[in-house]
Amino acid sequence: MTNVTENITCPVKRIECIPPEKIYSKGTIFPLEVGMKRVKLSKTYFCNGQEFSSLPLYDTGGPYSDPSVSIDPEKGLPPIRKSWGFQRDEKAASSITQMHFARKGIITPEMEYVSIRENQQLEEWISSFSRGGAKVSPITPEFVRQEIAEGRAIIPANINHPELEPMIIGRKFRVKINANIGNSALGSSIEEEVEKAVWSCRWGADTVMDLSTGANIHQTREWILRNSPVPIGTVPMYQALEKAGGKAEALTWELYRDTLIEQAEQGVDYFTIHAGILLEHLPFAEKRLTGIVSRGGSIMAKWCKYHKEENFLYTRFEEICKILQRYDIAVSLGDALRPGSIIDANDEAQFGELKVLGELTKVAWKYEVQVMIEGPGHVPLHMIRENMDKELAYCHEAPFYTLGPLITDIAAGYDHINSAIGGALIASFGCSMLCYVTPKEHLGLPDRNDVREGVIAHKVAAHGADLAKGNPVSWLQDELMSRARYSFAWEDQFNLSLDPEKIRAVHAQSMAARGHTEKNPHFCTMCGPDFCSMKKSKEAAEQE
Amino acid sequence: MTNVTENITCPVKRIECIPPEKIYSKGTIFPLEVGMKRVKLSKTYFCNGQEFSSLPLYDTGGPYSDPSVSIDPEKGLPPIRKSWGFQRDEKAASSITQMHFARKGIITPEMEYVSIRENQQLEEWISSFSRGGAKVSPITPEFVRQEIAEGRAIIPANINHPELEPMIIGRKFRVKINANIGNSALGSSIEEEVEKAVWSCRWGADTVMDLSTGANIHQTREWILRNSPVPIGTVPMYQALEKAGGKAEALTWELYRDTLIEQAEQGVDYFTIHAGILLEHLPFAEKRLTGIVSRGGSIMAKWCKYHKEENFLYTRFEEICKILQRYDIAVSLGDALRPGSIIDANDEAQFGELKVLGELTKVAWKYEVQVMIEGPGHVPLHMIRENMDKELAYCHEAPFYTLGPLITDIAAGYDHINSAIGGALIASFGCSMLCYVTPKEHLGLPDRNDVREGVIAHKVAAHGADLAKGNPVSWLQDELMSRARYSFAWEDQFNLSLDPEKIRAVHAQSMAARGHTEKNPHFCTMCGPDFCSMKKSKEAAEQE
């Protein structure tokens, strides 16, 4: 077994790595190498007649989880997508988006990449899996292509982000999570933000949004992009507002457009654009308890009211799509009117905007721009289902990407848990990606530890939803974990968990605090040897 | 406003108190004084036409949250129930249980107490509340009586626990949470455990289970009981096993019975009794991935197999009920066969036992013993509903009390979040009480901070479920919180949150780290002044 306790220094300043075992699966259509983490197990487990002495895991860590890769943050990550030999320009001069190729029946390297990635080298297991109803099949590049062609899934992958390891967002795939980072006028340095981005994906974030609003927005984003193996999203309005001196009324289409292009050139993979909030919605928003709680939304509302004009992101949306199309940037249609309190949930303002997002989805698809739809927000448990149902109906099954939902307003300090509860539920209903919330939500900017807590809380939610949806790969991980638990294989339990480093440390502490030194005690460290139910249960079963 | 930052020393050793404002509501039938915490608000908020410049909160902290009470842990808390003038012996010589009186049509002080407590002095608000459908009414002592008579709710209150502030467990009342404490052979002192008990109820635990299995079980329990304003539950089998030298096969009925009586005399309010696991279930349990994960269950399974006899907790159940009846101890029918992995969820073993628990419920009710039913465990999200539905059907609507459920097996280190997700869902379906899980679950014994994390995570879940069920009092708290948030009333936000101390500290840190010193900044400390959506949203709304 890899000696996981021996830390090595990661070349990114001040970040320490624990070396995992990294493996690569090769593409059959394209010369791809899809990275995964492999957990070596201390013994062979039998699941449904198949033997497992290791388990490949989906890995969002990119080169950071491969100790053999030398990383120089000044140079950035290797531009892997450049070597895949897919000549976009030759194949299709008219458009270069994934949706364009998908509609033409063409499989791209990105499509093959995500199909390999989702299967985790477990095709045999997937094919044999039957728990809970319908049989499932491994994901094929052709299946990915169909889902993208229909708009039910997206691969956010700007042609200028060659460092990217493609991933797919759609409800027939693993539930994904996003981590927000970014400085604000209240501080935090470039270095801190790059560090948070790297750690986010090491802990399991599938995408990262850089929501910087303070100083050095361009430079921060550049460093993040060049060092990011996951798609990077932004809200271009934030930088546009900085350029407008912080005054919403001073914003212009030209200033916004230039910002889009600036960020597109850098390689941002998806843009949140609050194009769905219209003048007609504002009276409804004003009746609310908490008005508009989306930053981008409140900026546009202020602009619209000042100029007595319709939202230029709406009126110029076709022009925006033409820019996005050139880079294959996905649009994440922002929910400017998401509820900021449970009392505002599912109101006319929210669902009125959602209908407009459905309209805009059709416009984007006309330009073969990939679309996802952003969702709430604060929604009590019993009103969550309606959000998912309406999103699918109004937005033609475009993937849903929600912030929580938070199921109560009073959980400040614990909003990551609040959000994980609502997130697990909506993801089990079909939401494709959860935006994390950290314990600092409503209180301040997250630090590195908050990012970790936020990421893992939402990994629990996403994984729980995958299980509820019958994902065979997720079920296997739980089965192996429980087999390891029942046989007191502590190292296997650590490695199969969502945060091995943390629980390894906690377990060692618990043992040491109690004066135990065994590395693999044959009892649960919670209850001690005499009261270990698993031990007794085994003894009972063996007794005749 | 109370100066909450000025800590005072609580007489219980090493516990610091933050003085809340404590108020008392008087009974109209009995001379009761029902304690609540009152949050003074910095301004007057208007909700649905009513004015609120303060909000009474349900308070589980008992005398610990009243700075005017002097507490001497050596003496224990004041025996408040002794002064309520309810002469049980005179009124009903045949039985003294709450269920007995309820069936006779008699309202007890405990019934009036919980009705006052649940209403939080908000009768006017409750009567005017109409959000989300059916109108609700304040809870009357008569309504409490009916629910107890029908077995749909319980008030666990041993006649020998006079320090208790009664509370009610049932699905038509606030969702409750339980905190487990207790030492094990692996260590922890009496002092630590008493401290954890006190802190549990201060942070919001409605009941505390003392699951001690190590040394000094009797003494630890005595200190906990004498200093506990919340019901104390135990699993008497643990002490019985200690008396049997840790050997399951050495257990006898007599030894168990004597342990029951010993604990009954001390004042334990409810006993978990694993009477539903039968010989016929064992083959099903042996087919499972993780066998039996209940400690009490695995002990009984071992005993049954060794002696080739039926579970004596089942065969002697009527004798057990006769003991419980004398003290008005509630029985919490243990789910010995709860699934310990999601693959074992909802299987024949689990539901087979649940049916037996339904039978035993009827037996207990024959003796007018109050009953609740324990539930899982590890259950994936989509299989949670079935647990609630079957429990109501098999167990004649006796209150359900679940451990989680945990929605995945792989969240070690984050199992409090895992459990809060499943717990929120099952509570929204009607589960009456959630047993907390701490971040140490599966790894070690919780320390004080783990207890806090576990309690608050499950408060989020329980409160979220209360909102989903349309509890008017819960909705009011959220509404005030959001009104405070939208008006940047930071102190009000802190006080209306589930953990004011923690978020007050976090917010102060965030502000200080960013070089801000205002106590009540008019912007969100996450985004800074220019990007505060609430600020912008207000500006937009005010603009014409």
* pLDDT surpassing 50 at residue A348: yes
Q: Supply the range of the domain harboring residue A185.
A: 157-473
pLDDT grade for A185, boundaries at 50, 70 and 90: low
Residue A216: is its pLDDT beyond 90? no
Q: Mutate which of B37, B414, B486, B532 to test chain A, going by most A C-beta atoms within 10 A? A: B414
Name the band, by pLDDT with cuts 50, 70 and 90, for residue B2. very low
Same domain flag for A206 and A306: yes
Q: What part of B 417-476 touches A (C-beta under 8 Å)?
A: 417-418, 420-422, 424-425, 428, 439-445, 456-457, 460-461, 463-465, 467-469, 475
**B443, A537: Cβ pair inside 8 Å?**
no
Query: Given an 8 Å threshold on Cβ–Cβ distance, is B298 in contact with A533?
Result: yes
Q: Given CB atoms, is B2 within the 8 Å cutoff of chain A?
A: no
| A30: in domain | no
Answer whether A382 sits within 8 Å of B468, measured CB to CB.
yes
| Domain end residue (candidates: A438, A457, A473) | A473
Interface test with chain A among B238, B346, B408, B534, by most A beta carbons within 10 Å: B408
Model confidence over B196-223: pLDDT tens digits? 889 999 999 999 999 988 778 898 899 9
Task: Note the pLDDT of residue B8.
Answer: 33
Question: What number of residues does chain B have?
Answer: 544
Query: If you count them, how many residues does chain A have?
Result: 544
Q: What is the mean pLDDT of chain A?
A: 90
How far apart CA B363 and CA B357 sit, in angstroms, is: 10
Q: A299 contacts in B (CB within 8 Å)?
A: 536
pLDDT of residue B189: 72
Residue A271 confidence (pLDDT) above 70: yes
Same domain, A536 and A400: no
Could you tell me whether strands A16-17 and A21-26 are parallel, antiparallel, or unpaired per DSSP bridges? unpaired
Q: Which of A185-199, B407-421, B480-494 has the highest mean pLDDT?
A: B407-421
Same domain, residue pair A461 and A511: no
The CATH code of the domain that includes A383 is: 3.20.20.540
> How far apart, in whole angstroms, are the C-alpha atoms of residue A429 and residue A382?
13
Q: Indicate the pLDDT class of residue A214, thresholds 50, 70 and 90.
A: confident
pLDDT band at B142; cut points 50, 70, 90: very high
Residues A176 and A257 in one domain: yes
- From A543's Cα to the closest Cα of chain B, the distance in A is 7
Distance (Å, whole) CA A464 – CA A458: 9
Which string of DSSP letters, residue by residue, matches B230-274?
A: S-EEE-HHHHHHHHTTT-GGG--HHHHHHHHHHHHHHT--EEEE-
ipTM over 0.85: yes
Q: Has B209 been labeled as part of a binding site?
A: yes
Q: What is the mean pLDDT of residues A410-421?
A: 97
Q: Kindly state whether residues B405 and B259 are assigned to the same domain.
A: yes
pLDDT of residue A307: 97
- B232 is a domain residue: yes
Would you say residue A92 lies in a domain?
no
Judgement on whether residues B506 and B370 belong to the same structural domain of the protein: no
Whole-angstrom distance, CA of residue A340 vs CA of residue B339: 38
Q: Is the separation of the CB atoms in A416 and A453 below 8 Å? A: yes
Amino acid at B345: A
* Residue B38 pLDDT greater than 60, yes or no: yes
The minimal CB distance from B342 to the residues A441, A467, A497 is found for A467
Query: If you average pLDDT over residues A86-91, what whole number do you get?
Result: 61
CB contact under 8 A, B294 and A444: no
Do B531 and B460 lie in one domain? The reply is: no
Q: Is B167 annotated as a binding residue?
A: no
Three-state DSSP class for residue B363: helix
Residues A406 and A520 in one domain: no
Interface of B with A in 359-388 (CB under 8 A): 378, 380-382
Q: Which range among A7-21, A412-426, B66-80 shows the weakest confidence by mean pLDDT?
A: A7-21
Among the candidates A473, A490, A516, a domain finishes at: A473
Q: Is residue A143 part of a domain?
A: no
| pLDDT single digits (tens) A132-177 | 667 789 999 999 999 999 999 999 999 999 999 999 999 999 999 9
Contacts of A505 (CB under 8 A, 6+ apart): none
Residue B178 host element (H or E): strand B176-181
- A116-126: per-residue pLDDT in tens? 999 999 999 99
Q: Both B212 and B342 in a single domain?
A: yes
Q: Which helix (H) or strand (E) holds B218?
A: helix B217-226
Residue with tokens 């075992």: A21
pLDDT of the residue at A428: 98
Query: Using the beta-carbon criterion (under 8 Å), do B213 and A483 form an inter-chain contact?
Result: no
Cβ–Cβ < 8 Å for B165, B62: yes
| Mean pLDDT, chain B, whole residue set | 90
Say if B121 falls within a structural domain: no
User: Looking at residue A46, what is its pLDDT?
Assistant: 96
Would residue B120 count as lying in a domain?
no
pLDDT interval class at A515 (50, 70, 90): low
- The phi-psi region of residue A105 (left if phi > 0; otherwise alpha if psi is between -120 and 50; otherwise beta) is left
Inter-chain contact A185–B531, Cβ cutoff 8 Å?
Answer: yes
The residue type of B507 is H
Question: pLDDT, tens digit, for every residue of A292-337?
Answer: 999 999 999 999 999 999 999 999 999 999 999 999 999 999 999 9
The answer to whether position A391 is within a domain reads: yes
Bond prior to B454 in cis (omega within 30° of 0): no
Whole-prediction pTM:
0.94
**Strands B232-234, B270-273: parallel, antiparallel or unpaired by DSSP?**
parallel
pLDDT in tens, A5-27: 233 333 334 333 344 589 999 99
Q: Are residues B528 and B454 in the same domain?
A: no
Are A482 and B282 a contacting pair at CB < 8 A? Answer: no
Note if the bond before A377 is cis, omega within 30 degrees: yes
Give how far A418 is from chain B: nearest CA, Å.
6
Of A473, A488, A512, the residue at which a domain comes to its end is: A473
Distance CA B318, CA B360 (A): 9
CB < 8 Å from B in window 18-77 of A: none
Q: CA-to-CA distance for B351 and B337, rounded, in angstroms?
A: 9
Number of domains in chain A: 2
Overall average pLDDT of the B158-165 stretch: 97
Cis peptide before B500 (omega within 30 of 0): no
Helix (H, G, I), strand (E, B) or coil at B426: helix
Q: Which stretch of A91-100, A505-514, B318-327 has the lowest confidence by average pLDDT?
A: A505-514
Q: What is the separation of C-alpha A225 from the centre of its chain, rounded to a whole number of angstroms?
A: 16
Burial A61-94, CB ≥16 within 10 A → b, else e: bbbbbbbeeebebeebbeebbeebebeeeeeeee
Q: What is the distance between the alpha carbons of residues B235 and A364, in angstroms, rounded to a whole number? A: 61
Residues A450 and A383 in one domain: yes
Residues near A336 by Cβ (< 8 Å), separated by ≥ 6?
A: A274, A276, A277, A292, A294, A296, A297, A298, A300, A301, A353
Does B508 lie in the same domain as B372?
A: no
Between these two residues, B298 and B130, which has the higher pLDDT value? B298
Q: What is the pLDDT of residue B12?
A: 40
Query: Residue A269: pLDDT above 80?
Result: yes
Tell me the percentage of chain A whose pLDDT exceeds 90. 75
Query: A76 or A360: which carries more pLDDT confidence?
Result: A360
Inter-chain residue contact A248 with B536, CB threshold 8 Å = yes
Is A191 a member of any domain?
yes
Six-digit token pair at B464? 């979220």
Q: For residue B215, what pLDDT is reported?
A: 73
Q: Which residue has the tokens 């069936």?
A: B103
Task: Label residue B9 by pLDDT band (50, 70, 90).
Answer: very low
- Coil, helix or strand at residue B352: helix
- Closest-CA distance of chain B to residue A90, Å: 44
User: Percent of chain B beyond pLDDT 70?
Assistant: 90
**Distance between CA atoms of residues A70 and A63, nearest Å:** 8
**Nearest-neighbour CA in chain A from B238: distance (Å):** 8
